Amino acid sequence: MHTMRRSRVPYLLLVPAVAILLLGMGYPLIWQIITSLQEYGLAQQFGQPAPFVGVDNYVTLAANPQLWLVVGKSLAFCVLTAAITMVIGVGLALLMTGVTKTARLILQIALLLAWAMPVVAAMTIWIWLFDRRRGVINYLLDMIPGVEMNRFDWLASPVTFLLVASIIVVWMSVPFVAFSVYAGLTQVSDEVLEAASLDGASGWQRFWGIVAPMIRPVLSIVLLLQLIWDLRVFTQIKMLQDAGSASGDYDLLGTYIYKLGTSSQDFGAASAVSILVLAITVALSWFYIRSLLREDAA
């Protein structure tokens, strides 16, 4: 480590990165904060000056039941999807520790393929799988005696629409969770586990009493990332809306902002909702960033 005092070299090295961050993120962020305090509608799109209106945009939004509905739906979607992803991901990671080498390899390759799928391609596949008339999911479900799923339109009601979105997000996110947790598990020594089982601990007790505390750092970071990612889910909802209905009942926060900005051209309100999303994200991220900083200091 060079400890030259007053050297200009490190600052020069930082110039390009700082410049691009200020341009691509800093300026938009500040513009957005300012715009969220302005009346910025259709008239301003055509060059009218944008008057400052204080927190009016926020007050109007807070009084708008539709916004709270969208916030509520987004939070519910985010928490449920992240929870299901964690349960399946951790389950698969534990499964990997208890199976033969071949079985583990097959499972890992399958998960990697799902993980590697570009999100837009994954969406086209799932929309095809859930297709009303010729989708293989309706076909298979329909074969179960007593189940009548022929031509069932998954995208026609908000509940099944979000269920489909959640299934897709879980499918795409589980591999990351499973690999991260498995990597954490391989660092828990076998002796610890064996000693615990000689003491007569059942599998369930062993997991909560011994394994979970030891991999707690991995578990908490992976859970946080899932929450953050699932809160800002946009591509999946947008593409399902392309395939089904784009009415407001099918919006989560991402598509809600998009519509405020594109269809209503109300940049003031769109910026205010964006700031809300950013605030929730930064609040959640803080724990993640703190733990990374501890790593940097170590």
Binding status of residue 68 toward other proteins by CB under 8 A: no
Of these, 35, 81, 85, 173, which contacts other proteins (CB under 8 A)? 35
Binding status of residue 107 toward other proteins by CB under 8 A: yes
Structural contact between residues 172 and 117, judged by C-beta atoms closer than 8 angstroms: yes
Binding status of residue 293 toward other proteins by CB under 8 A: yes
CB of 297 vs other proteins, minimal distance in Å: 9
Binding status of residue 20 toward other proteins by CB under 8 A: yes
Nearer to other proteins, 66 or 151 (CB): 151
Binding status of residue 207 toward other proteins by CB under 8 A: no
Residue 287 CA to residue 298 CA, distance in Å, equals 17
Of these, 38, 239, 250, 251, which contacts other proteins (CB under 8 A)? 239
Binding status of residue 281 toward other proteins by CB under 8 A: yes
Nearer to other proteins, 69 or 137 (CB): 137
Of these, 111, 165, 223, 227, which contacts other proteins (CB under 8 A)? 111
CB of 206 vs other proteins, minimal distance in Å: 15
Taking CB under 8 A as the binding criterion, the range among 13-21, 49-57, 64-72, 75-83 that sits at the site for other proteins is 13-21
Residue 53 CA to residue 35 CA, distance in Å, equals 10
The contacts of residue 41 (CB under 8 Å, 6+ apart) are: 264, 265, 266, 267, 268
Binding status of residue 163 toward other proteins by CB under 8 A: no
DSSP secondary structure letters along 217-231? HHHHHHHHHHHHHHH
Of these, 77, 126, 154, 161, which contacts other proteins (CB under 8 A)? 126
Task: Give the helix/strand (H/E) hosting 233.
Answer: none
Residue 150 CA to residue 137 CA, distance in Å, equals 10
If you count them, how many residues does the chain have?
298
Residue 93 CA to residue 13 CA, distance in Å, equals 41
Taking CB under 8 A as the binding criterion, the range among 50-58, 75-83, 96-104, 205-213 that sits at the site for other proteins is 96-104
Enter the tokens of residue 68.
């709270």
Binding status of residue 115 toward other proteins by CB under 8 A: yes
Residue 70 CA to residue 204 CA, distance in Å, equals 37
Phi first, then psi, for residue 38 (nearest 5°) are: -120, 160
Nearer to other proteins, 157 or 197 (CB): 197
Residue found by looking up tokens 């790593």 in the block: 295
Strand, coil or helix: 259: helix
Interface with other proteins: number of residues (CB under 8 A) = 108
Torsion of Cα atoms, 68 then 72 then 77 then 78, to 10°:
90
Binding status of residue 122 toward other proteins by CB under 8 A: yes
Show the site string, 137-156: x = touches other proteins by CB under 8 A, - = not.
--x-----------------
Structural contact between residues 126 and 137, judged by C-beta atoms closer than 8 angstroms: no
Binding status of residue 1 toward other proteins by CB under 8 A: yes
Enter the tokens of residue 199.
């003491």
Tell me the sheet residues that pair with 38.
52
Nearer to other proteins, 98 or 200 (CB): 98
Taking CB under 8 A as the binding criterion, the range among 28-36, 52-60, 77-85, 156-164 that sits at the site for other proteins is 28-36
